Chain A
Amino acid sequence: MGDLMYKYDTYDQAMVDARVDEFRDQVARRIAGHLTEDQFKPLRLMNGLYLQLHAYMLRVAVPYGTLSGAQMHALGDIADKYDRGYGHFTTRQNIQYNWIKLDEAPDILADLAKVEMHAIQTSGNCIRNTSSDQYAGAAADEVTDPRPYAELIRQWSTFHPEFSYLPRKFKIAVIASETDRAAMRLHDIGVKIVRNDAGELGAAFYVGGGMGRTPMIGPLVRDWVPLDQFITYAEACLRVYNRHGRRDNKYKARIKILVHELGKEEYTRQVEAEFALLLAQNIEPPLAELERIKAQFADPRFEAGLADLVDRSDPDFALWVDNNCVRHKTPGYIAVTISLKPIGGIPGDASADQMRLMAELATRYSFDELRVTHAQNIVMPHVRKDQLYDLWQQLDEAGLGTPNLDLVGDIIACPGLDYCSLANARSIPVAQKIGQRLAAKEQQIGELKLKISGCINACGHHHAGHIGILGVDRKGTENYQLLLGGCEGADTSLGQITGPGFDEDGIVDAVEKATEVYLSTRTDGERFLDTYRRIGMAPFKEALYG
């Protein structure tokens, strides 16, 4: 493993190993009949094991989306050994395996523990895996690498004794750039690491964002938390929620409802009161611990004086560079996104062979590092520009060179009714049909973020799509609502429903019509979202229903 990501010490390893032993014991008790399914359910959920429509699904945590080559390689091996040769990368920067046998689940956890991975708190009403910016450590616009703060949260939240039975699940994102690439304000807590005029780092806390049935953009509750009070402040935010969050209705149990019902001022007042009491409890890790973690996220040894140019003579390559690569903070390097959205494919799926190839290429071309993005793609964060063409050729040969980052084919979709027991409608076939229908026009259309959820829980982030699609059940038939104008990032907005829903073919037609309205109305340089914001809903409604 490289020296630029967090490495377990004996303490971290002991915690993960203890979890494997515990789960092995629980599964044995279940198989022997000493535990009923009802008794077993909360235990397996604490380990990310869901009983889905056809089989068990195991969700593996990828803390802040960062993977080493060895870890990605192990994920590929697990897909072959225990699943059907593929895995599904999720909007929470995790990976899910959809065809798991119960008696093999402890062996998978043991295989994961060997590469410092786990499935702890990937489900249940607890603090889930912390997400972050996929370009952390590479982005030209970041004030610092946000991942050490996410790792501090990972450790603090792991087996937190007070917050393991919250009213509902709890998701935290940490970023450190003005540009928000992690949908930070759509999380229960969004943390933005900022630098003040004196050059010091601190944390801004946004609390009470979320998607689901009642989408909300998290308000800023404190613009500056000193780093030596960071965990204590998070603890105060959680304690007020655990104490007062609603437990009478699961659809009103997320912290966004509490913050909304109390009002931001009253929620903040209660947090500040709790914070003052908690400061006296000395629960904050010392800054030396943050420094210890930070040292493990040090920059790789970038070479100085590399040519800061890419040879664009191959037009297919040039198109991919323009669409899928972003500026790196270091001259001579570039950050690469590998699209897991081939035309007609299943968004976020990768085969075992593809995972192992990405692992090998990361070791060779990206300082042994990979990232999972919340848009269900994979990033190689630190690639030399003079090696970019070699890398692209190998990716393209393996079906990993689709040049569609942030284009209409780069669809976010939840697993939907093909797998998920909560879903009302299928997401995957809709994504596949839209991808195929618009493939020829996607370069012309330009940036268009399309997001599909198969139910109101909004795992496919439909509220935040420039075009969002929500699958609903209408009298026993799958039906799809269309939303326009959602956006994550610095200018976060929530999509508006256009009107009556459509059937499966109808929604594909409707999306195409929306893009036609855009293409015929846009002015120079306008993205779909910009045009929608300028002309409003009416012309789209006219085209869809007129």
Chain B
Amino acid sequence: MMVEIKDLYKSFNSNIVLDGVSFNVTEAENMIVFGRSGTGKSVLLKCMIRLMEPDAGSVFIEGKDVLKLDLKELNELRKDIGFLFQGAALYDSMSVRENLEFPLIRNFDLDKKEIDKRVHFVLEAVSLLEAIDKMPSELSGGMRKRIGLARSIITKPKLMLYDEPTTGLDPITSKEISALITELQHALKMTSIVVTHDLLCAKIIADRAIILDGGKIVKEGSINDLVTSEDPLLKNFFSDEIIETNGSLK
């Protein structure tokens, strides 16, 4: 098992965001986490790698109890995890090349030639080799997402966490990013957890999906099972999404 989450709780003051969330993700599986805005999807991802400390519960990644690791052990584990942030989170003061080199220089003992090779490999993978010397401010939203993705995979992580990878993008770019994620997924044989409410993205990427509502997992299964479910909550959740994606799931 790559990821095991058991009874995860997180609240902000009186607002309970995660209320006993439990699920597993197997190796090389692509898991989608669906949910309305504010249901704690991003909080779940951040708790998994301790960008936020959960109130209770346990998170096991590759068999390691993440919440019990000290900072050094946690940083070691994080080298095996990629994270694509909602806004890509590129370092503004660094060029694309420096953004990509940063995790390699800081964490791995690689020579210049190997670093250059990896930078070129990931930029070719996201079809943005020409942007290598550009600054993040010179890139469009879609390009930033691609570079963010390139930076996440440059360390060859075993687990990828995606926080709304297609939010704010037009449908065509969104589809391209989703396809790119799947391609890289197959090429690098990574496990991934994708937080999204984009059905099209989910359809392209997902092996399995869970629905988060009120801090709990209310449903789990394949995308088609969830979309065709007669459960009023799911029908309500997916109705708008299906219209948005122009019936692409049918």
Asked whether A and B interact, the reply is no
Q: Identify the A interface with B (CB < 8 A).
A: none
